[in-house]
Amino acid sequence: MANADPFAASAAKMREHGMSELSIAQFERLYRVWQNETSSSWIRESDVEPLTGIPSFHDVYKTIDHDKAKTAFAKTAFLKLNGGLGTSMGLECAKSLLPVRRHKAKPMRFLDIILGQVITARTRLGVDLPLTLMNSFRTSEDCMKLVRNNRKFHQEDIPMEIIQHAEPKIDLATGEPVSFPSHPDLEWCPPGHGDLYSTIWESGLLDKLEEHGYEYLFISNSDNLGARPSRTLAQYFENTGAPFMAEVAVRTYADRKGGHIVRDKATGNLMLREMSQVHEDDKADAQDIGKHPYFNTNSIWVRVDALKAKLAEHNGVIPLPVIRNYKTVDPTDPSSPKVIQLETAMGAAIGLFEGAICVQVDRMRFLPVKTTNDLFIMRSDRFHLTDSYEMEDGNYIFPNVDLDPRYYKNINDFNERFPYNVPSLAAAKSVTIHGDWTFGQNVRLFSDAVLEDEGEPSYVPNGEFVGPQGIESDDWVV
């Protein structure tokens, strides 16, 4: 006989695995929304207004007192979302432990660079700038070992990590937690980065921050090395008195499918609209970068007291829109049972804070690595990692990169095909590689560089130029 309430099985499974009552309450909210929602979950174009006229970082920079800015910065804490494993690139460890590039001959991982950015800010500005990582149970051990082994990084009063929750994947056929005995770990998933808020609440982090005089919390993804601590933005955020501030950037055609901030016509509040919340009839409008010129970078600033009050109001589980992710229990096996993963987005909290604002930042503050295509650019000569751990580029307008996923999507395959580091991209407008190509030393890509599939493993010799015609012929040399 079917269970009258399929959620009961999820609650029992979570308790059996030692999960807290708050994590169960949070998942129950997501489950009930999915189970009972009869009204549309679309955010329709006719119900919103585009976000326009947002002040830019450059506008802000001219208006603040930079001596005073250090005072606001001294009241700021830094939190990095660090729960991801980088499974989309075939990683089995925390994505933040992936080497990005070398600095003075030493391989630098995301986490090395983040720690370097924090240590630099502390040293140059004489502030404490506490760093907290929101780890998952899969990333905690390895990442905290790296943090503790960094001889220049010390922190005592503020926790260096909080652990995000986990939830069962739901079997679409039954509504109960999926069973996958051959790989039980795949029965679980994170509840999206919106889980940050209940995790913060349960950890007591906000109380610790208040106790030690911290008033502002800057939160960003660990795979976005552009999201560095900023005294300019700290001072601007303090000046506005706003409870919540989202960093947005100007959309390009490549960003058209990303989440963007809109204004709710009914309430006047800002809202985050993900593409999964856009109705088919509204897709052309939502992807019109002229009409909706900004996208969400997933970097936010929040007042500690305002966040604490909002969480207290909702007993630690704030009502964020529910995102439905339809997958198979084993993402690599399309024949495995179909599941739904229920998630929330961190940036969606902007809709819960009256008076929330946005600030437009340059691309130098948005340098995410989601795929090996992104890593290809990050490891190239387009970037220089400075002594202050800034990923520096001339204009932060990058070539479009399309690497054949059969040979480059997995990080081990990727590394094998670039044994001497990736080619030069300084003169490249775009890069398209079809087929199985391995690269020698000092290869340079230019213009719209293309390599076609030759049907067998192929090699680009040392020192060659690759352009629109593939490997450039030297027949013209006389």
Q: Give catalytic residue positions.
A: 370
Q: How far apart are CA 401 and CA 372, in angstroms?
A: 9
Tokens read off for 178: 């999926």
Tokens read off for 232: 């300019």
SS3 state of residue 290? coil
Handedness of CA 440, 96, 137, 299 (dihedral sign): negative
What is the b/e burial string over 264-282, where b = at least 16 CB atoms within 10 angstroms of the residue's CB?
Answer: eeeeeebbbbbeebbeeeb
Q: Beta-strand (E) ranges in 137-181?
A: 161-163, 167-168, 170-171
Q: How far apart are CA 439 and CA 274, in angstroms?
A: 38
Residues forming beta bridges with residue 216, ordered by sequence position: 76, 303
Distances (CA, A) of 384 to 49, 104, 144, 377: 39, 11, 27, 11
The DSSP-derived string for 185-236 is GGGEE---GGGHHHHHHHHTHHHHHHHTT--EEEEEETTBTT----HHHHHH
CB 304 within 8 A of CB 206: yes
Neighbours of 307 (CB within 10 A): 23
CB 129 within 8 A of CB 116: no
Q: How far apart are CA 12 and CA 16, in angstroms?
A: 6
